[in-house]
């Protein structure tokens, strides 16, 4: 196999493969796995056993079971919008997958993200048809090309989903966009609690696929905008006090762990 052939198979340049052959730069877990597979050798063979070969599981819970769980709860509690949103979101996300985490061995359907959020919210005691429906729909516009105005749901749900759909205006910086985005969300209690649960889920699992630089950016955004949003939720709506406490705990513990690991990597 030539350098170019291997490069094509693992999606890098021929120059990168040349560096690997000179014992330089092969330190990306996912690329080591890919190269080992193409060369027909073990991960341990390429690393001399110096890196533990763990398999990360992005799919903590079965999407089928989570779907059945939420559908059963929604029907029993007569949550018509949630029942409708379950079917609608599953259809829109059909065939879409999440970015695979380093060390994961299979792709995960993107629909697992809103499903996990809905189960998380329900387990925290949130029994609100509108909130659960918005959770299931919050990424449909941004990731499936659906206009908020075209969503076949109640106006209040459409409004919250629209607020949660991030888009940059012409001439805006990233920071200006974030300030406008979070300021609008803060005025809507449904959008606020959905955003808090969304960030909690993202930091806990989706961030596994981020580069170190992206992780730092994500942590900075979380501390600058999301944590104040959660404090605002606690002050403004007593019914979310318990949920806000649990979300804060999970977010802060995950963030501090990630910070520690990033600092170790620098040393």
In eight-state DSSP terms, residue 118 is H
User: How far apart are alpha carbons 177 and 175 in whole angstroms?
Assistant: 5
Q: What is the per-residue pLDDT for 100?
A: 67
- Name the pLDDT band for 238 (thresholds 50, 70, 90): confident
Same domain? For 146 and 249 the reply is yes
For the chain, the domain total comes to 2
Is the pLDDT reported for residue 203 higher than 80? yes
Is the pLDDT reported for residue 78 higher than 80? yes
Same domain? For 13 and 120 the reply is no
Same domain? For 170 and 223 the reply is yes
Same domain? For 246 and 177 the reply is yes
Q: Is residue 111 part of a domain?
A: yes
Same domain? For 16 and 109 the reply is no
Same domain? For 235 and 117 the reply is yes
Q: What is the per-residue pLDDT for 213?
A: 86
**Hey, what are 98's tokens?**
């999440």
Is the pLDDT reported for residue 144 higher than 90? yes
Q: What is the per-residue pLDDT for 267?
A: 60
Is the pLDDT reported for residue 58 higher than 90? no
Same domain? For 24 and 137 the reply is no
Of 92, 100, 98, 90, nearest to 64 (Cα)? 90
Burial of 70 (0-12, 13-18, 19+ CB in 10 A): buried
Q: Is residue 56 part of a domain?
A: no
Same domain? For 236 and 152 the reply is yes
- Domain encompassing residue 172: 63-266
Burial of 167 (0-12, 13-18, 19+ CB in 10 A): exposed
Q: Is residue 53 part of a domain?
A: no
Q: Is residue 52 part of a domain?
A: no
Q: What is the per-residue pLDDT for 22?
A: 83
Same domain? For 31 and 119 the reply is no
Of 165, 259, 184, 174, nearest to 229 (Cα)? 184
User: How far apart are alpha carbons 206 and 4 in whole angstroms?
Assistant: 32
Q: What is the per-residue pLDDT for 52?
A: 60
Same domain? For 28 and 126 the reply is no
Radius of gyration, CA atoms only, the chain: 21
Is the pLDDT reported for residue 205 higher than 70? yes
Could you give the maximum distance between any two Cα atoms of the chain, in Å?
64
Q: What is the per-residue pLDDT for 210?
A: 81
Same domain? For 92 and 176 the reply is yes
- Picking from 34-38, 206-210, 246-250, which range would have the lowest pLDDT averaged per residue? 206-210
Residues 193-217, mean pLDDT to the nearest whole number: 88
Q: Is residue 57 part of a domain?
A: no
Q: Is residue 55 part of a domain?
A: no
* pTM score of the predicted model: 0.80
Burial of 146 (0-12, 13-18, 19+ CB in 10 A): middle
Same domain? For 37 and 85 the reply is no
**Hey, what are 22's tokens?**
């000179």
Q: What is the CATH number of the domain that holds 194?
A: 1.10.3210.10
Q: Is residue 148 part of a domain?
A: yes
- What is the DSSP annotation of 160-205? HHHHHS--PPTT--HHHHHHHHHHHHHT-HHHHHHHHHHHHHHHHT
Q: Output 156 or 107, whichever has higher pLDDT.
A: 156
- Name the pLDDT band for 156 (thresholds 50, 70, 90): very high
What's the mean per-residue pLDDT of the chain?
89
């Amino acid at each position: 196999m030539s350098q170019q052939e291997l490069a094509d198979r693992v999606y890098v340049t021929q120059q990168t493969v040349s560096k690997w052959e000179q014992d330089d730069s092969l330190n990306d877990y996912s690329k080591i796995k890919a190269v080992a597979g193409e060369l027909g050798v073990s991960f341990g063979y390429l690393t001399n056993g110096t890196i533990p070969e763990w398999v990360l599981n992005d799919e903590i819970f079965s999407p089928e079971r989570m779907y059945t769980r939420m559908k059963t709860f929604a029907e029993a509690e007569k949550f018509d919008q949630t029942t409708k949103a379950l079917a609608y979101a599953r259809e829109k996300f059909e065939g879409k997958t999440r970015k695979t985490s380093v060390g994961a061995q299979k792709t995960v359907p993107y629909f697992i993200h809103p499903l996990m959020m809905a189960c998380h919210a329900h387990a925290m005691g949130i029994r609100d048809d509108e909130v659960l429906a918005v959770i299931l729909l919050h990424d449909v516009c941004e990731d499936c090309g659906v206009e908020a105005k075209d969503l076949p749901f109640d106006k209040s749900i459409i409004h919250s989903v629209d607020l949660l759909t991030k888009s940059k205006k012409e001439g805006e910086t990233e920071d200006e966009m974030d300030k406008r985005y979070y300021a609008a969300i803060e005025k809507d209690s449904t959008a606020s609690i959905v955003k808090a649960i969304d960030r909690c889920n993202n930091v806990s699992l989706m961030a596994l696929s981020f580069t170190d630089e992206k992780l730092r950016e994500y942590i900075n955004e979380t501390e600058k905008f999301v944590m104040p949003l959660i404090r605002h939720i606690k002050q403004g709506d007593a019914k979310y006090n318990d949920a806000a406490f649990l979300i804060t705990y999970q977010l802060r513990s995950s963030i501090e762990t990630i910070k520690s690991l990033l600092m170790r990597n620098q040393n």
